[in-house]
Amino acid sequence: MRQYLYEEEEPNPELNMRRRLTIATAEDNIPDDIEELPPLDDEEYSEEEIEIEEEIEVEMSDIEESDDNVAINASYMPETFEQLSAMYRSKMETKTEPKAESKFERKPQSEPEPEPEHEPDPDPEPTTATDIYVEYEDGDIEDYEHDEIDEEEISDEEEDEISDVDDAELMSRLEAKYGRLPAKEFESDPDSDDPSWTQIKPKNPTGAKAEEVADDLFEQELHKANAEMINENPAKALRAFNILTHTYAHKPTAHLSRAQALERMADTRRSNQLLQEAIESYKRYLAFGELITNQSEFRIASERCIQHLRFLGHTHQVFSIHELLIERYPDEAQLRNQLSLSYLMSNNLAKVQHVAGETLKRWPNNSVAQLHFGLAVKQLTGDYARALPYLEFAIQSQEAGTQEAYFYLALGETLQRLGRHTEAWQLHQSGVDKKFFLSVHQRSLYNEPGLKAKPFWQLTETGIAPQLEQLQHNWRAIRNEALSLLNKHGNFQPEAEHLRDTGNWQQYELFSQGKRLHANCQRAPITCALLAKLPAFTTCHRGQVKFSAMQALTHVWPHCGPTNCRLRAHLTLLAPEPHLTSLRVADQQRTWKAGELFIFDDSFEHEVWHNGTQLRLVLILDFWHPDLSESQRRNLSPI
């Protein structure tokens, strides 16, 4: 049944290309010495500050309740690994904080699908942008006025501060906080409508001189606020930055410093909300564009902002920032690779192909661009022979940005689909050596260590035999329901992950990530009523429950599921030609028989053939690996 082609192709001469790329990622700039904030000392704070602190504390406690791996909400494809976001999020998390699994709260969102792009522009313009704008959460694009504060952007807390600025007490409070301000030649103008510090005018305004003095004052205050940061008091520093950004909204560094204070607090307090505020502040800073002359500050801020946006899964917001960077540094291939990586993370493969293709025109030997281009070609066209050299050379280069489990999977898959099984095996072995994979056969990427691993399992080993038997007992009712659903066009969905070599394979999902899919369950009331009494299947948030309908003459490419944390049962509903169908899991093979049930670990490589003439129908049920403790199950991110 299986045909392996051991065709060996000549290595491409590009193999000898010069390796010159070193990706410097924003992660490199993350301080790894961030310590816990000391407990807040009320005596050091004004009443108002304490209020603010309390608000923050409340938010924190809400957030800390729901600690989890942030990788969870990527629009993740359960069978393979077509979506990188989750991986990169968890990776960045690991880099910023060793306690990776519990850093920030769950992120209740998934990336919106980008506009489909059918034909990549064959000869597009270089990717640069001149527009400088801030793209806000709601997707609105807002021109940023350097010297204006948008009232709607101001939180209640900040609103207080603004009205405080009106208050004559402000100066004395600031003085109490930062020492005496050099304001001898200033006086407050109570008649002014302007609620900002522009009220504080020189007694004898003298144009440039006044500006200079105001600049000095700003610099001093910034310096003092920064000193709070250095003194490990970001909460206090943040309060000062809040005032500074309103008072000196036209000063880029005020926004930058505020962003840094927020970022640091976000990290210490594990708060995505604070991180979001840091991002907004970074965006305000970056919106000053060419007015920012400090190159390294601009660069670090851009890269941090991109990194945070990726981390939160807001990949669609990063593109304008990438373009600002590319515009500023047009000769750096790595900045273009970062752009195509962001497109890869948002699953916009047409853009990946376009950006990486442009990069290769100018830097044909750039490994990361080759890798991204090869991945896009593989996914978009299924032209494995064309994709292979790009993937192969890039990964063999071992250069920074090319050594990821996901890329090894993609190359292995490409080799397998070209029938080059020996090379695929060798590549998988090198992935095991690099600790990307648990074994050559078990290549899931989201793994818990130490779980018993074998291809097929006995019913008695699962710990949930009664629940499986309960379903098996009702297999005819389940079959009838599935068949009537199949009769109506549009209920079952074609497999959409390029796992099919030939034929027709469709699925109908009932539960996904431990959540009941209401519309589908309504149309399958019998099966869902049975499932409702069986928590083993409805609470496994690293899996699904679904019908799988396979037509004759179907071959499913070898593939691995995403995690070793679940086992998978097939309850066979219809299998008229068992001798003509086959499931291979690692090196073991078996077939389906109606009314029977078997259990396998789908993190092991598996492959399916249906060489018969009639429909084969099964109910697929995922459940937690029996070795996982209750608390492990609770804390694992959904897949």
Helix-helix angle 169-178:208-230, to 10 degrees: 50
SS3 270: coil
Distance of CA 39 to the CA centre of its chain: 32
Cβ distance to ligand OGA smaller for residue 144 or 456: 456
* Residue 580 beta carbon to ligand OGA: minimum distance, rounded to whole angstroms: 13
Cβ distance to ligand OGA smaller for residue 246 or 479: 479
Region of 570 on the Ramachandran plot (φ > 0 left; ψ -120 to 50 alpha; else beta): beta
Cβ distance to ligand OGA smaller for residue 521 or 556: 556
DSSP secondary structure of 272-314: HHHHHHHHHHHHHHHTTGGG---HHHHHHHHHHHHHHHHHHT-
Cβ distance to ligand OGA smaller for residue 97 or 413: 413
Listed ranges 38-46, 157-165, 600-608, 630-638: which one lies at the site for ligand OGA (CB under 6 A): 600-608
The set of residues, in sequence order, having a beta carbon less than 8 Å from that of 548 and lying 6+ positions away, is 505, 506, 507, 570, 617, 618, 619, 620
* Residue 556 beta carbon to ligand OGA: minimum distance, rounded to whole angstroms: 6
Cβ distance to ligand OGA smaller for residue 400 or 552: 552
* Residue 455 beta carbon to ligand OGA: minimum distance, rounded to whole angstroms: 12
163/185 Cα distance (integer angstroms): 23
Nearest of 96, 114, 92 to residue 404 by alpha carbon = 92
CB 65 within 8 A of CB 106: no
CB 262 within 8 A of CB 278: yes
* Residue 592 beta carbon to ligand OGA: minimum distance, rounded to whole angstroms: 8
SS3 633: helix
The set of residues, in sequence order, having a beta carbon less than 8 Å from that of 302 and lying 6+ positions away, is 286, 321, 324, 325
Distance (Å) of CA 560 to CA 292, 437, 597? 48, 11, 20
* Residue 447 beta carbon to ligand OGA: minimum distance, rounded to whole angstroms: 17
518/510 Cα distance (integer angstroms): 8
Q: Does 280 bind ligand OGA (CB under 6 A)?
A: no
* Residue 279 beta carbon to ligand OGA: minimum distance, rounded to whole angstroms: 38
The set of residues, in sequence order, having a beta carbon less than 8 Å from that of 260 and lying 6+ positions away, is 229, 278
Cβ distance to ligand OGA smaller for residue 354 or 568: 568
Region of 382 on the Ramachandran plot (φ > 0 left; ψ -120 to 50 alpha; else beta): left
Instruction: Determine which helix (DSSP H) or strand (DSSP E) holds 337, and give its type and residue range.
Output: helix 333-345
SS3 463: coil
Cβ distance to ligand OGA smaller for residue 404 or 602: 602
Count residues near ligand OGA (CB under 6 A).
9
Listed ranges 37-45, 153-161, 260-268, 602-610: which one lies at the site for ligand OGA (CB under 6 A): 602-610
* Residue 620 beta carbon to ligand OGA: minimum distance, rounded to whole angstroms: 5
* Residue 73 beta carbon to ligand OGA: minimum distance, rounded to whole angstroms: 22
Q: At residue 67, what are phi and psi to the nearest 5 degrees?
A: -50, 140
* Residue 378 beta carbon to ligand OGA: minimum distance, rounded to whole angstroms: 20
Cβ distance to ligand OGA smaller for residue 275 or 619: 619
Nearest of 270, 326, 376 to residue 37 by alpha carbon = 270
Joined tokens for residue 486? 């199949």
Binding mask 543-562 for ligand OGA (x = CB under 6 A): -----x-x-----x------
Q: Which of residues 510-549 bind ligand OGA (CB under 6 A)?
A: 548
Cβ distance to ligand OGA smaller for residue 201 or 500: 500
* Residue 478 beta carbon to ligand OGA: minimum distance, rounded to whole angstroms: 15
Cβ distance to ligand OGA smaller for residue 436 or 592: 592
Distance (Å) of CA 443 to CA 410, 608, 609? 11, 17, 21
Distance of CA 434 to the CA centre of its chain: 23
116/170 Cα distance (integer angstroms): 54
Q: Does 608 bind ligand OGA (CB under 6 A)?
A: yes
Cβ distance to ligand OGA smaller for residue 305 or 550: 550
Cβ distance to ligand OGA smaller for residue 298 or 547: 547
Cβ distance to ligand OGA smaller for residue 206 or 588: 588
What distance, in Å, lies between the first and last C-alpha atoms of the chain? Answer: 33
Query: For ligand OGA, which residue of 93, 413, 481, 602 counts as binding (CB under 6 A)?
Result: 602
Residue nearest to ligand OGA (CB): 548
Listed ranges 34-42, 168-176, 270-278, 601-609: which one lies at the site for ligand OGA (CB under 6 A): 601-609
* Residue 453 beta carbon to ligand OGA: minimum distance, rounded to whole angstroms: 16
Cβ distance to ligand OGA smaller for residue 344 or 615: 615
* Residue 444 beta carbon to ligand OGA: minimum distance, rounded to whole angstroms: 12
Q: Which of residues 239-278 bind ligand OGA (CB under 6 A)?
A: none
246/248 Cα distance (integer angstroms): 6
* Residue 616 beta carbon to ligand OGA: minimum distance, rounded to whole angstroms: 7
Query: For ligand OGA, which residue of 284, 372, 568, 584 counts as binding (CB under 6 A)?
Result: 568
* Residue 487 beta carbon to ligand OGA: minimum distance, rounded to whole angstroms: 19
Cβ distance to ligand OGA smaller for residue 12 or 613: 613
3-state secondary structure 528-559: HHHHHCCHHHHCCCCCEEEEEEECCCEEEEEE
Cβ distance to ligand OGA smaller for residue 292 or 556: 556
CB 264 within 8 A of CB 226: no
* Residue 574 beta carbon to ligand OGA: minimum distance, rounded to whole angstroms: 12
Radius of gyration of the chain measured on its C-alpha atoms? 29
* Residue 463 beta carbon to ligand OGA: minimum distance, rounded to whole angstroms: 20
CB 12 within 8 A of CB 390: no
SS3 475: helix
Q: Does 620 bind ligand OGA (CB under 6 A)?
A: yes
Nearest of 335, 395, 277 to residue 126 by alpha carbon = 335
Q: Identify residue 607 by its one-letter amino acid code.
A: E
Q: Does 575 bind ligand OGA (CB under 6 A)?
A: no
Joined tokens for residue 47? 């009443």
Interacting residue ranges for ligand OGA, rule: CB under 6 A: 548, 550, 556, 568, 602, 606, 608, 618, 620
